[in-house]
Structure 1
Amino acid sequence: MKIKTATKPGLYADGGGLYLQITAAGVKSWLFRYMRNGKARGMGLGPLHTIGLAEARAFALDCRRQLLADVDPIDARNAERMSKRVAQADEMTFEQCASKYIKAHRAGWKNAKHADQWTNTLKTYAYPVFDSLPVSAIDTPLVMKVLEPIWTAKTETASRIRGRIESVLDWATVQRYRAGENPARLKGHLDKLLPKRSRVQKVTHHPAMPYADISEFMEILRAEQGVAARALEFLILTATRTNEVIGAKWDELDAERTVWIIPAERMKMRKEHRVPLSARAVELIKVQETLREGDYLFPGAKYGKSLSNMAMLELLKRMGSHHFTVHGFRSTFRDWAGETTNAPREVCEAALAHGLKDKAEAAYARGDLFEKRITLMQQWADFIGATA
């Protein structure tokens, strides 16, 4: 009768940790309260309209028995639910999970090409091995079957595939399609089965022009006509990347056209990068401003489109410098800065928008050393003979 007539919000003890709980809205339900490792916990047993007093007392008795056996009732219930979810997910394959993972993360990736790389590499190497097996059945031997054939011959590709498999399996675990440790994790697991990347992978660098030859090259480059030539010169002057230059927009420049602010979403490190512009870089911008079409500093052939990401590389080939890469000019700049100037290492790295590898050092490096980089970038422009 008390259970039926009680209306005041609060907890009503029945004994043995069982309580009738009445909310401010008048909803009645059963609650089992207990202490575990010095902390109070509460486990809902169901609403009064479904679970009667006798059944609630029986549930509470089961909980007390679990506690006597040193089993946490809430943890036991969660584990049981997980097992049922995994059992019900037998038809959810790795490929289906990967597809859902890619769809969920596509918006956060820089471009569609990244999503295509995920899909293509998994389709080529992982799906044929995992076949139509449920994701809960993916184990270490299956992961090794994917990686071992390519770990030595295609180390970089294999490493990326391992990371992608690990991410998909982590997603599947959080979604409760599988349980247990991730068989694709590297540290403390696969690193015991696979040789270190440094032992099997040949380090290849982007072919870079020696800094002693850059002045002569710049003289030839300035004689070239076209947007690609101006874009390449601007890239060399600013020591930036191809995508950063071809995606440069007029609204990224300050009013005086002396600072280029690349937004975080266009940077590899996802951090805004301020680029001090040398006198010659400013001159290039002024030239482009007289030919301004649309939003881009270096527009493509079609109105409203940026320059192609292959345009500068094709220019190098036409100039007979096909053995060098566009990205390699960043290495040229870094070699020059390290070997011929007194600029501190952190200033040189900041000019390239590189993050500091030492985490402790990075924690204290709050600024971007902009004032010091102004001098460094003008010295670079002077060195390469960048005059109009």
Structure 2
Amino acid sequence: MRELNKLSAAFVKSAPAGKHGDGGGLSLHKRSATSGKWIFKFSLHGKRPEMGLGPYPEVSLRQAREAATEARQHVREGRSPIKVRQKERREAERNLHLLKDIALDAFEARKAELKGDGKAGRWFTPLELHVLPKLGRVPVAEIDQIDIRNTLAPIWHEKADTAYKALGRLAICMKHAAALGLEVDLNATEKARALLGKQRHKITHLPALPWKEVPAFYRSLSEPILTHLAMRLLILTAMRSKSVRLAHLDQIEGDTWTIPAENMKSRKDAATDFRVPLSPEAQEVISEASKSARDGYLFPGVRKGVISDATMSRYMERREMEARPHGFRSSFRDWVAETTNTPHEVAETALGHVVGGSVERAYRRTDHLEQRRALMCRWADYVTAKSGEIVRFG
């Protein structure tokens, strides 16, 4: 057997530049008196490749010999120590459980809960844009509150809502990692929130027209043009702009408008369509709009599709109004609260909101359609100035 351990620690430290063999294929290649690298040369399958064992002096003589001994064992077993090391590195990287992989796995697990399986990207986007560029390649088990604080600090006040969402999504990812059996700090996001402090930004709600001013505005929408008709239907039904803009003749049957789940704002129970009771006034608006329908859509765009999301907002801007279309939902809700004794669940359902917890919803099979029908008829009477009566539910 070839002689091993020819070098000594003292010689290695003082050896000049050049190659110095330790035996058994291990040698030190010194570039200068103070630095170099360890090389292991072996024979396998008719070839004599070289394998680096690390830089000197970071890797000591003893450590280099231990690595060479392990490499010789692989050679005796007919395996390339280079390929063995490459395989071990790939496996180690997989076992790191990087945040980017955990985030994608968490997203996949929640797609069924998201509107359109999350294809619009709203759930994942805060992570993708503001967290993963900095922490994506960090093992999730190593992420602490300092990492999170430093990542979100630049947008914590300037983009408060986005930062808040990113922090919430990150907390979900950490819980997902824990469920996979990884050792993570589940309190890291809360501790980061404490470090970041209270956000200066305050969430501002879209301005709404006071409910007492709605009848006068409604009367001003007197022209049989699509913008006026769409605004009138929006007010009469208290629905969101998207649902109104995408209203289709096939969705309407008599005095009921059934909005497909995908046209409603994402809700946990949005697996079913939503029924909207139509007052006689709303039915008249639909009848008028149907005269200009294209491809079944009540409010078609100039060239294709439907009117844009900005159409009604721009109309109110041109009239120099601070209020915006979405605000009419608040106008309606305030009117309900101040002039009626409508039960909470009826009023909230009228807005398409989810009411109660999952267990309560599982046992409650009604959508209060008839109660809502009476309420919406009263609302229509009010906005058209036909009645100012107080609504009472006995």
Distance 1:221 1:110 in 2: 33
Distance 1:195 1:364 in 2: 39
Q: Could you tell which deviates more after superposition, 272-281 or 149-158?
A: 149-158
Q: Residue 183 of structure 2 corresponds to which residue in structure 1?
A: 180
The structure-2 alpha-carbon separation of the partners of 1:295 and 1:109, relative to structure 1 and needing over 3 Å to count, comes to farther
C-alpha offsets along residues 303-329 of structure 1, whole Å, 9 cap, x if unaligned? Answer: 4x12211111111112222x1121110
Partner SS for 1:327: helix
Q: Residue 336 of structure 1 corresponds to which residue in structure 2?
A: 335
Q: Residue 302 of structure 1 corresponds to which residue in structure 2?
A: 303
RMSD: 3.6
Output the amino acid matched with 1:244: S
Percent identity over the alignment?
34
Output the amino acid matched with 1:284: V
Output the amino acid matched with 2:209: M
Distance 1:361 1:263 in 2: 23
Output the amino acid matched with 2:294: E
2:257 corresponds to which of 235, 246, 260 = 260
The structure-2 alpha-carbon separation of the partners of 1:300 and 1:197, relative to structure 1 and needing over 3 Å to count, comes to farther
Q: Residue 159 of structure 1 corresponds to which residue in structure 2?
A: 164
Q: Shift of residue 119 of structure 1?
A: 5.7
Distance 2:207 2:345 in 1: 24
1:121 matches 2:126 = yes
Q: Residue 191 of structure 1 corresponds to which residue in structure 2?
A: 190
Q: Shift of residue 276 of structure 1?
A: 0.5
Q: Residue 285 of structure 2 corresponds to which residue in structure 1?
A: 284
C-alpha offsets along residues 23-59 of structure 1, whole Å, 9 cap, x if unaligned? Answer: xxxxxxxxxxxxxxxxxxxxxxxxxxxxxxxxxxxxx
The question of whether the paired residues in 2 share the 8 Å contact of 1:260 and 1:275 is answered with: yes
The structure-2 alpha-carbon separation of the partners of 1:280 and 1:137, relative to structure 1 and needing over 3 Å to count, comes to same
Output the amino acid matched with 2:182: A
Q: Residue 75 of structure 2 corresponds to which residue in structure 1?
A: none
The structure whose Rg is larger is: 2
The question of whether the paired residues in 2 share the 8 Å contact of 1:280 and 1:386 is answered with: no
Q: Shift of residue 114 of structure 1?
A: 6.5
The structure-2 alpha-carbon separation of the partners of 1:107 and 1:86, relative to structure 1 and needing over 3 Å to count, comes to same
1:244 matches 2:243 = yes
Q: Shift of residue 214 of structure 1?
A: 0.6
- 1:34-73 correspondence to structure 2 within 5 Å: none
Q: Shift of residue 157 of structure 1?
A: 1.6
Distance 1:145 1:138 in 2: 11
Partner SS for 2:320: coil
Distance 2:126 2:168 in 1: 12
C-alpha offsets along residues 349-369 of structure 1, whole Å, 9 cap, x if unaligned? Answer: 111111224667555533111
The question of whether the paired residues in 2 share the 8 Å contact of 1:90 and 1:135 is answered with: no
Gaps of at least 5 residues in structure 2 are 1-87, 387-394
C-alpha offsets along residues 61-88 of structure 1, whole Å, 9 cap, x if unaligned? Answer: xxxxxxxxxxxxxxxxxxxxxx999734
Give the length in aligned residue pairs: 294
Partner SS for 1:89: helix
Q: Shift of residue 163 of structure 1?
A: 2.6
Q: Shift of residue 298 of structure 1?
A: 1.5
Distance 1:113 1:311 in 2: 26
- 1:343-362 correspondence to structure 2 within 5 Å: 343-357=342-356, 362=361
- 1:1-150 correspondence to structure 2 within 5 Å: 87-89=92-94, 93-95=98-100, 98=103, 109-110=114-115, 115-117=120-122, 120-130=125-135, 132-135=137-140, 137-150=142-155
Distance 1:290 1:237 in 2: 19
Distance 2:250 2:196 in 1: 43
Q: Shift of residue 245 of structure 1?
A: 1.1
Output the amino acid matched with 1:147: L
Q: Residue 381 of structure 1 corresponds to which residue in structure 2?
A: 380
The question of whether the paired residues in 1 share the 8 Å contact of 2:145 and 2:188 is answered with: no
Q: Residue 52 of structure 1 corresponds to which residue in structure 2?
A: none
The structure-2 alpha-carbon separation of the partners of 1:106 and 1:157, relative to structure 1 and needing over 3 Å to count, comes to same
Gaps of at least 5 residues in structure 1 are 1-82
The question of whether the paired residues in 2 share the 8 Å contact of 1:276 and 1:374 is answered with: yes
Distance 2:296 2:197 in 1: 44
The question of whether the paired residues in 1 share the 8 Å contact of 2:256 and 2:275 is answered with: yes
